[in-house]
Amino acid sequence: MKLNKTLKQEYKMTYDGDAWGSCMRWLFAICDFLEFNRSGTPDHWQYRPSPMGADEEDSSYQFLMDSEIPHEEIVEFGNCLIRLRDILEKKGESY
């Protein structure tokens, strides 16, 4: 599946040069969005939601709430971020 163009553009616009931070910010926003507004996150993501709920003030989360991007495309973008997270971890670029 091809990644959603709108999600890619928004990710690029919010990228601040910190690969790990940008990846994790978006990954948490997607996880919160799927968990609290859709049917949940895929099990292999191993996401555990905060008992406080979603971080509704995060601009990435707000973008997802305001968008009409299909569920499957959000999950696919999340899968891409999971792969990026794993690559950055293996390269020692996590913190």
Q: How many domains does the chain have?
A: 1
Give residue for tokens 């931070």: 21
**Does residue 54 contact residue 61 with C-beta atoms inside 8 Å?**
yes
Instruction: Look up the pTM and report it.
Output: 0.93
Distance of alpha carbon 44 from alpha carbon 47, whole angstroms:
8
Can you spell out the DSSP letters for 12-45? HHH--S-HHHHHHHHHHHHHHHHHHHSS---GGG
Residues 78/43, Cβ–Cβ less than 8 Å: no
Domain assignment present for residue 2? The answer is no
Average pLDDT over all residues of the chain: 95
Q: Is residue 67 part of a domain?
A: yes
pLDDT tops 70 at residue 34: yes
Residue 59 has a pLDDT of: 96
Residue 5 in any domain: the answer is no
- Within-domain flag for 3: no
Query: Residues 36-46: pLDDT tens digits?
Result: 999 999 999 99
In a domain, 10, yes or no: no
- Give the residue numbers spanning the domain of 84: 17-90
Is position 57 within any domain?
yes
User: Mind listing the pLDDT tens digit for each residue in 49-94?
Assistant: 999 999 999 999 999 999 999 999 999 999 999 999 999 999 999 9
